[in-house]
């Protein structure tokens, strides 16, 4: 059912850039819906009822919900809902849906880009270019390399699909231990250290839950192979950052591609900035020109009926998020 009224929340600077495009998307995907845009709680008309609230996991979302009657549905622009859950909101009677899967293609492309950058040392050569230094050395061929994917949900599966043509040997880790096509073995979560010890490239595609917080700690990192690479496109707290810093200083893993961090923006004093073996991006792996279009397509799909205040699908280690 198309909502009659909708409230779209976003940081004011982002909203200013997106508003024209958002109006086009409402007209295309939710025709006839009256939408109110707000960049702060004060922009929300007090007491006005909305069928649908579309929002990132904003720290001022609780203030907004105090100003309006409970909507029928809250749709999160992110794939995960960890911040929302931490707010302790009373969501009784409200269906909460997320944008899980809308960024799977973009993030899988990012992962393959990170793998290629590390194997072909493109970041190192870029640094040499800036210094006008000519240095040749052996690069890494990916055929036969061992790829481990932690979380075989939307994003992990898309990474798998894109990795197959490179000739990787692929194993996974997931609460569901059925091996998808192209995966030779799936480890249970308690066996994640075994996966880390086996692979040359370890890719993290899990949501942040009590079970995944600190999942990649000193024990897992210490067992990785010489020359190995860690890629994190899940959530920063999935990795124990001090343990990762110590591990990188020891040379195992040899490098890391990190799009997410314990604290964002990453503080200017953080050790990652000065570590040449670390590639840092500011939580952009899932952001492309198609993100909002993909998100609106998920909104118009009728959500599966579930208990109030919960997502239409159970949160599990395999559910990747952004």
**Which residues are identified as catalytic?**
235, 264, 283
**DSSP for residue 252:** S
Measured distance CA(104)–CA(270) in Å, rounded = 29
Quickly count: other Cβ atoms within 10 Å of residue 88's Cβ: 8
List all residues 6 or more positions away from 60 whose beta carbon is below 8 Å from its beta carbon: 40, 41
| Token digits of residue 49 | 């009822």
- What's the CA gap between 194 and 305, in Å, rounded? 38
Phi, then psi, of 255 in degrees rounded to 5: -160, 170
What 3-state class would DSSP assign to 171? strand
By DSSP bridging, strand 34-38 and strand 278-280 are unpaired
* Enclosing H/E stretch for 232: strand 229-232
Where residue 184 falls (left for φ over 0; alpha for ψ -120 to 50; beta otherwise) is alpha
Helices within the chain (DSSP H only): 12-29, 61-67, 82-86, 104-120, 122-131, 154-163, 192-198, 218-222, 241-250, 291-300
The torsion angles phi and psi of 202, rounded to 5 degrees, stand at -115, 120
End-to-end Cα spacing for the chain: 27
Tell me the C-alpha to C-alpha distance, in Å, between residue 237 and each of 81, 135, 247: 14, 37, 16
């Amino acid at each position: 059912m198309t909502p009659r009224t909708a409230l779209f929340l976003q940081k004011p600077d982002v909203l200013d850039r997106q508003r024209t495009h958002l109006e086009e998307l409402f007209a295309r995907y939710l025709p006839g819906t009256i939408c109110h845009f707000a960049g702060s709680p004060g922009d929300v008309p007090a007491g006005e009822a909305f069928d649908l609230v579309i929002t990132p996991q904003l720290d001022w979302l609780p203030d907004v919900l105090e100003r309006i009657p409970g909507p029928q549905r809250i749709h999160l622009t992110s794939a995960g809902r960890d911040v929302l859950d931490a707010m302790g909101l009373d969501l009784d009677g409200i269906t909460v849906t997320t944008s899980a899967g809308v960024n799977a293609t973009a993030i899988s492309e990012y992962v393959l880009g990170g793998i290629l950058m590390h194997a072909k040392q493109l970041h190192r050569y870029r640094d040499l270019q800036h210094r006008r230094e000519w240095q040749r050395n052996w690069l890494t061929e990916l055929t036969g390399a061992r790829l481990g994917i932690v979380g075989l949900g939307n994003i992990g599966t898309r990474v798998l699909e894109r990795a197959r043509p490179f000739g990787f040997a692929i194993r996974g880790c997931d609460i569901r231990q059925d091996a998808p096509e192209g995966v030779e073995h799936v480890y249970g979560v308690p066996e994640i250290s075994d996966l880390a010890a086996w692979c040359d490239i370890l890719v993290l595609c899990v949501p942040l839950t009590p079970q995944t917080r600190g999942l990649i700690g000193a024990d897992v990192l210490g067992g990785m192979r010489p020359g190995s690479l860690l890629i994190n496109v899940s959530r920063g707290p999935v990795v124990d950052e001090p343990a990762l810093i110590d591990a990188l200083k020891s040379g195992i893993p040899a490098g890391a591609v990190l799009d997410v961090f314990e604290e964002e923006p990453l503080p200017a004093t953080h050790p990652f900035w000065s570590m040449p073996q670390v590639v840092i991006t500011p939580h952009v792996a899932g952001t492309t020109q198609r993100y909002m279009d993909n998100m609106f397509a998920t909104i118009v799909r009728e959500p599966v009926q579930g208990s109030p205040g919960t997502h239409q699908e159970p949160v599990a280690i395999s559910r990747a998020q952004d």
